[in-house]
Structures are given as C-alpha cells and as structure tokens.
Amino acid sequence: MSETRLKLLQYITGIGLFFLVGIHLIVSHLSSGEPTAWESVSQRAASAGWMALYLLMLIFGLYHGIHGLRTMIIESIPRLPARYVDWTLIAAGVAIFIYAAYIPINAFL
Amino acid sequence: MEHENKQLTFRVQRYLPGKDKRPYMQEFKVPMKRGLTVLDSLLYIKENIDNTLSFRSSCRMGICGSCGVLVNNFPMLACHTPVEELHTDRITLKSLPNFPIVRDLVADLGPLFEKHRSIKPYRISAEAAEAQEPTAGFLQSTDELHSYVQFAYCVKCGLCMAACPTVASDAKFLGPQPLGQAYRYCSDRRDSGAKERFKQADTRHGIWLCHLAGACSEACPKGVDPALAIQLLKRAMLFDSIRLRKPPAPAETAGPSKETKPRVAVPEFTVK
C-alpha cells in the first residue's frame, strides 16, 4: 500500500477515534446512573452493538497508534531496514489485537 | 557618525577537512559602517585579516542563492542580511546545518541538488514529439500564473533544508525545497508530469514525514513558502490516491504567429 493511502487511513482512524472515544467517554463517565457498575458493564458486554463498537475502537486505536509509532521510527532511525520495521509492527499489532479482542468477544459469548 | 569606531565581533566557523578533526570558532573584529551586510563583513575579513577564510558568494543581491550561512543560529543569505538588523555586536557564523561541510562556511549543497533532480523539476509534456520540437506556445492567464509563481521564485539556496527539523533527523527525507518545487510544476497547467512526481514524493522518506514545523517558510529569503506548497501537494496526492483529484485542464496552445520572422542564425564567436 502506498504511503499516501496509509496516511489517509491514519486520518480516517483519527477522525473515527474522535467519535468512538467520545461515545465511550460519554457512556462511561458522563451518563447518569452507574455505567461502571457490574450490571451495566455486563449488560453492555452482552450487546452485539457495544462489542462491535469496542472492537472498532480497538482496530482504529491500534492502527492509529502503530502508524504513528512507525512514522517516529522511520524519522528517528532512518537506517533501520524498512521491511523489519513494518513486519515487527504488524506482528505486534496483531498480537495486541488478539489479546485485547479476547475480552469483549469472550464477554459477549 | 553613529557607527564611527564601532567594532563588530565575528565568531566564524573554521574547518579544513583532512587537517582539522572538527570545526572550531575563530574571532575577527570588523569595523561597523552603515549598510554593512554579513557578506561585506566576510569580504572584509578575507581581504584584510585572513585570506584563507572560505565562503561562497556570487551575485551579492539575493538572487543566486550562493551565500547561505547560519547567522546567529538562523539560516540566512549573507548578502541579504544587514548587520544592523541583527541588533547585536557579536555575530556567529557557521556553515548551513544538514549539509556536509566542504570548508569553513562552504556547505556541500550536492544532496539538495540530487533530491531536487529526483522530483523532475521541469515541464513534462504528455507528447514526447511536442516536447522535443514545440510547434506552438502555451497560453496562460494571469490567474494561472499566480497559482504557482510564488513557488517559482526558489533560488535553491538550501536555507529551507538547513532549517527543516525533519531533514536534521532523517537525511533521507526529501525536504522542503524539492517538495515545494514538485508542487510548483504539478500546479502548472502546461505540465503533464504530476503522476511521476507524486510517485517520487510518495515514499517512506517522502512528503508524509513533513510535520509542518514551518521553519522552511520562515527561513526562505524569497518568500516562497515551501510549507504551504507541501500542504497543497499533500492534498493533491491524497485526492489522487482515491481518484478524486481533478487534474487541471491542459493549457491551450497558440498557433505559430504568421508575423514571426524566421529565427536569426546564431553568430559565430570564434576568434579568427
């Protein structure tokens, strides 16, 4: 994928995170009632919509963060072989996704 | 006279590769006079104090871009910088950062020219035959000229590259001068080479490493504003990547004038 398209995804995920994190913050911290109580958490965990939202937030956050980290690595250590940097970050991203996605998926199931 | 008997102290970087291990600073005293520029001071030092001092200059009027140096830690053209505007009696001069040093204040601008060449800084014609043997001139409106002329004032002095923090951390980064010039040609309706330049700029060390620090535009002595050109090029490349960019319509051509006289033969200047 070209650098321009990777950057376009960075922008899209950034805008997406603004709304997704916004929903998360409003529901978890600003809504009335007790959103962090066990009943509320388990109720949300059982909802397919909430699971999709959390997975989407995870994917967007991971892409946005890892792409940002890649940019910093390219600029700060330009001598590092491009292929190693990319595959290391992809492997790290997949590992983090599997680990982090397990919680909402498991809770939903 | 206000400046009578006033002495300026110049701390000038000296470095002779092969002899010196690293650059060092040497002090010179230069008498102040009205209208004195940094380049005048360097010429004074060379003519009256130390003729081994090396620096580059040519036109003395901010056109050739030869005399770029780091004046009190800011990249400037020596000929374009009156000493009075620095508001200090102590002036430190170093060669431009982000470039190898040839000697003393002379920076090797080779990397700049290589990167500049890589973005094809010339008009690319869609028709090869027309490019080789043009049969007609292009028509261009004033508005079309204004859309890129600001970026065409670049004198390739390298000050923007010296000021760029990204070039400082990543020497492979294309940098503001080549990217700015890429936009200059892409926005010219007479040109058909935008795709080729997008490809050159769309690399790991290409346009997307620019963080819009804006140091390039601040340093530019010609008001080119490379940071603006880079942002406009980014936008064009983004829209092009999702096929939403509308390329400018090719410039219309004007047929050869019937009143044009035949070209006069080039005279021979050979001394006989």
Model ipTM value: 0.82
CA–CA gap between residue B141 and residue B40 (Å, rounded): 41
Asked if B94 contacts B13 with a C-beta cutoff of 8 angstroms, the reply is yes
Q: CB A4 to CB B202 under 8 A?
A: yes
Residue B75 is predicted with a pLDDT of 97
pLDDT of B4 strictly over 70: no
Q: Residue ranges per domain, chain B?
A: 7-107, 110-250
A4 contacts in B (CB within 8 Å)? 198, 202, 208, 237-238, 240-241
CATH architecture of B110-250: Orthogonal Bundle (1.10)
Mean pLDDT, residues B36-63 taken together = 96
A7 contacts in B (CB within 8 Å)? 208, 238
The nearest CA of chain A is from the CA of B24 a distance in Å of: 27
Residue A27 is predicted with a pLDDT of 82
Residues B61-76 pLDDT 10s: 999 999 999 999 999 9
A5 contacts in B (CB within 8 Å)? 241
CATH (domain of A101): 1.20.1300.10
Nearest CA in chain B to A12: B238
Q: CB B209 to CB A4 under 8 A?
A: no
Residue B80 is predicted with a pLDDT of 94
Residue B157, number of CB atoms within 10 A of its CB: 27
Asked if A93 contacts A62 with a C-beta cutoff of 8 angstroms, the reply is yes
Q: B254 touching A, CB under 8 A?
A: no
Q: How many CA atoms lie within 13 A of B20 on its CB side?
A: 13
Q: How many CA atoms lie within 13 A of A56 on its CB side?
A: 18
Mean pLDDT, residues A48-67 taken together = 93
Tell me which of A13-22, A78-87, B52-61, B152-161 is least confident: A78-87
Distances, alpha carbon B112 to alpha carbons B75, B98, B213, B218, in Å: 15, 10, 19, 18
Token reading at A66:
């890892």
Domain limits at A62?
3-108
Residue B270 is predicted with a pLDDT of 67
Look up the pTM and report it: 0.87
Asked if B65 contacts B80 with a C-beta cutoff of 8 angstroms, the reply is no
Q: B164 touching A, CB under 8 A?
A: no
User: Under CATH, to which class is B7-107 assigned?
Assistant: alpha beta
Average pLDDT value over all residues in chain B: 92
Mean pLDDT, residues B228-232 taken together = 97
Q: CB B204 to CB A2 under 8 A?
A: no
pLDDT of B207 strictly over 70: yes
The nearest CA of chain B is from the CA of A86 a distance in Å of: 11
Host H or E run for residue A61: helix A48-76
Helix axes A38-45, A48-76, angle to 10 degrees: 80
Q: Which of B267, B200, B265 is nearest to B233 (CA)?
A: B200
Q: CB A78 to CB B242 under 8 A?
A: no
Q: CB A8 to CB B172 under 8 A?
A: no
**Per-residue confidence at B264, pLDDT binned at 50, 70, 90?**
confident
Mean pLDDT, residues B39-64 taken together = 96
CA–CA gap between residue B146 and residue B143 (Å, rounded): 5
CA–CA gap between residue B150 and residue B223 (Å, rounded): 7
Distances, alpha carbon B181 to alpha carbons B15, B90, B132, B225, in Å: 32, 36, 23, 11
Distances, alpha carbon B70 to alpha carbons B74, B81, B99, in Å: 5, 11, 12
Residue B258 is predicted with a pLDDT of 67
Q: B11 touching A, CB under 8 A?
A: no
Closest partner residue to B241 (CB to CB) among A2, A74, A76 is: A2
B110-250 shares the fold of B7-107:
no
**Per-residue confidence at B269, pLDDT binned at 50, 70, 90?**
confident
**Of A19-33, A72-86, B226-240, which has the strongest mean pLDDT?**
B226-240
Q: B96 touching A, CB under 8 A?
A: no
CA–CA gap between residue B255 and residue B61 (Å, rounded): 39
Q: A5 touching B, CB under 8 A?
A: yes
Judged by DSSP in three states, B28 sits in strand
Mean pLDDT, residues B214-232 taken together = 96
